[in-house]
Structure 1
Amino acid sequence: MRDQELTPQICIDGSAIRRIREKNKLTQLYVAKVVGVTTDTVSRWENNRYPTIRRDNARLLAEALEVDLAEILLNGNGIPDHADASTSRRPLFVKIILTIILLCLSVGAYYYFMYESPADYAFSANRVLPSYAVPDGKFPVRVRLESTGDIKGMILREQFPEGWKLLQSSPPPSSLDNVNGTVRWIIKPDSKPDTISYLLDVPAAVDDSRQYRFVGEVIVNPRDSSIAYAVSGDQLTKAGPYHWADDNGDSVIDDSETLAASESVDEMAALHLSWETIEKIWDAGGYRWKAAERTFVPVRKRSEP
């Protein structure tokens, strides 16, 4: 058995085997019995499905066909032509080389785009807060979004002070937890706003000796991956009896503050902030907070003599 396994393999000519068998009017069953194989094996030899054969089987096959061994061997000696052998191996060799090249290119492209290429997108989220939040009053917040490149969507999450309540937002929130002070927006690619604004109700019992913090995060989805960005800009505000447009808390809305407030009112138009009140305060020269009525009252400043 060991000697048979080590018997050299030689190449046979399947077309010649079929031609000789049919010429001698021999069946595949007869040939199979003489050689000691199945008819399926004989058929595969004739169709070049098994292009090589053990030398001892080749001798038995030649005897069954009643011809010399050389007549059923490829090229008469069982050795394939070198040019043909090279050609037959070439497709596999080419496939292996191409596979290696494509693999190297894929790995290189991955590292290039993930680690070395300049970003093909840019994103920023910037929060704008009034300097003061009046107790038992309204407090407008806006987050400006800027992006370039292929960003497929984003989620904005804002955490506002506990006890404050969200009254209104544009666009409407996708998720709101007024108990813990958390609001989220899911922004689709075809509806990305430049600004997300919301209006909070400040509790009457806010402590004017402390600052109140806002925290936010945006998850963006460029190139089928998720990246988290912290919302930059204003994070702290104080409690005090001052209008949200009064940036320095001097109970006056001066010219520069009025112009800034005009831009804010336009940018947060969906919140319906009172521009009329700001105009009256600006015209009067000052104001005071009337807590009982939860409103700002214009106070005319005395002109200098």
Structure 2
Amino acid sequence: MTSILQPTVNLDSEAIRRIREEKKLTQLYVAKVVGVTTDTVSRWENNRYPSIKRENAVRLAEALEVDVEEILEKNEDDVEGVDEEAEPAEAFPPQRSKDSRAWLLLLPALLVLAGVIIYWLMQRQDTLVGRFEGYRSLPPYAAPGEVIPVHIRLETDDTVKGYILRESFPKGWQLVEAAPPPTSLNNAEGVARWIVKPGDERNRVVYRLRVGENVGKIPSTAYFSGEIIVNPNGRNLSVSLDGDAVVEVDHVQWADLNGDGIVDDGEMLEASDTVDEMKGVHMDWDALEAIWDAGGYRWDEDDRVFVPHKPPAVEEPAPLENSQP
């Protein structure tokens, strides 16, 4: 029987975390191997991204050095066993009509035929349309008035003859710089478009986004969405961007991945990779380095900026004296 591979699969978040910790692998290592951010790996382990594309699951399994089945949710229908408390079958089961028996015999063949047709149509569509995918990377946090980096990685094959990338960001936020510059930009509505013409080699789009000053309640959540649009054979087709789609708005610097008020060495390495990916736009590395050197930062409410700040030393409690009887 021909098996149909589903385009997305459900992850077993507990298994992912357990396997990674058993093998003493860091989230940073897994993220590098798979080609995502550590925040994405964290969301896989916390079941915030319960389903992903099958090819990403395969890369994740390779990073964890296990078979892909070990990190997928188990289907209860696949569990074999016998119910010992089940009632015994009747000695003389009711007789089915000839028509019903014929349908039961034909059903497996019909299911196989339907599966073959669906598989053929999917393969045919891939041949006509080509492969086009996009993955967005966002920092986990953003502060009011702060400028954050956004990176979109594009993957297409040679059959895709030009396309449009459409990106939607929160209203009230401002796109201040992009590489390449957007073909169309509406900051009031939070929409930017890039037209990639046939022959243009484009594997990434990066932009800097200023968070709105009046974001309302702090903390809050901001949402992103985007799609890639192609027009093969005169019919519009689109696919949604994968990757990060949520940013928590709070008084946390964008490089502070866990929101503890400190940009540690591991987070600084992540920020360095992000800055490298943002080639073509200006990133204020000096300000980030000053926060790193100071050991921490604080939010200046008057100037509405982050300033370097050394966190206070934690005093260890004095040892308890042994009391004499």
1:170 correspondence with 2:182 = no
- Count, aligned residues: 195
SS in 1 for 2:199: helix
The one-letter amino acid of 1:195's match is R
- TM-score by structure 1 length? 0.58
SS in 2 for 1:270: coil
Distance apart, 1:211 and its partner CA: 0.8
Instruction: Give the equivalent residue in structure 1 for 2:126.
Output: 119
Distance apart, 1:115 and its partner CA: 4.8
The one-letter amino acid of 1:169's match is A
Q: Which has the larger radius of gyration?
A: 1
The one-letter amino acid of 1:158's match is E
SS in 2 for 1:271: coil
Looking at secondary structure, tell me which structure has more helix per residue: 1
Distance apart, 1:150 and its partner CA: 1.6
1:267 correspondence with 2:274 = no
Distance apart, 1:119 and its partner CA: 3.3
Instruction: Give the equivalent residue in structure 2 for 1:154.
Output: 163
1:133 correspondence with 2:145 = no
Rate the CA distance shift 1:291–1:171 in 2: closer, same or farther, 3 A. Answer: farther
The one-letter amino acid of 1:182's match is V
- Residue 278 of structure 1: which of 278, 288, 292 is its match? 288
SS in 1 for 2:261: coil
1:145 correspondence with 2:154 = yes
Q: CA RMSD in A?
A: 2.5
5+ residue gaps, structure 1? 1-110
Tell me if the contact between 1:151 and 1:221 (Cα under 8 Å) persists in the aligned partners.
no
Alpha-carbon distance in structure 1 between the residues aligned to 2:313 and 2:119 = 68
Instruction: Give the equivalent residue in structure 1 for 2:226.
Output: 216
- TM-score by structure 2 length? 0.55
Instruction: Give the equivalent residue in structure 2 for 1:297.
Output: 307
Instruction: Give the equivalent residue in structure 2 for 1:32.
Output: none
SS in 2 for 1:256: helix
Distance apart, 1:284 and its partner CA: 1.8
Q: Percent identity between the aligned chains?
A: 42
Alpha-carbon distance in structure 1 between the residues aligned to 2:219 and 2:306 = 21
The one-letter amino acid of 2:126's match is A
- What pairs up with 1:1-305 in 2 under 5 angstroms? 115-117=122-124, 119-120=126-127, 121-206=130-215, 207-221=217-231, 226-301=236-311
Alpha-carbon distance in structure 2 between the residues aligned to 1:118 and 1:249 = 44
SS in 1 for 2:227: strand
5+ residue gaps, structure 2? 1-117, 316-325
Tell me if the contact between 2:220 and 2:250 (Cα under 8 Å) persists in the aligned partners.
no
Alpha-carbon distance in structure 2 between the residues aligned to 1:196 and 1:232 = 14
Alpha-carbon distance in structure 2 between the residues aligned to 1:118 and 1:225 = 12
Alpha-carbon distance in structure 2 between the residues aligned to 1:112 and 1:282 = 52
Alpha-carbon distance in structure 1 between the residues aligned to 2:185 and 2:298 = 33
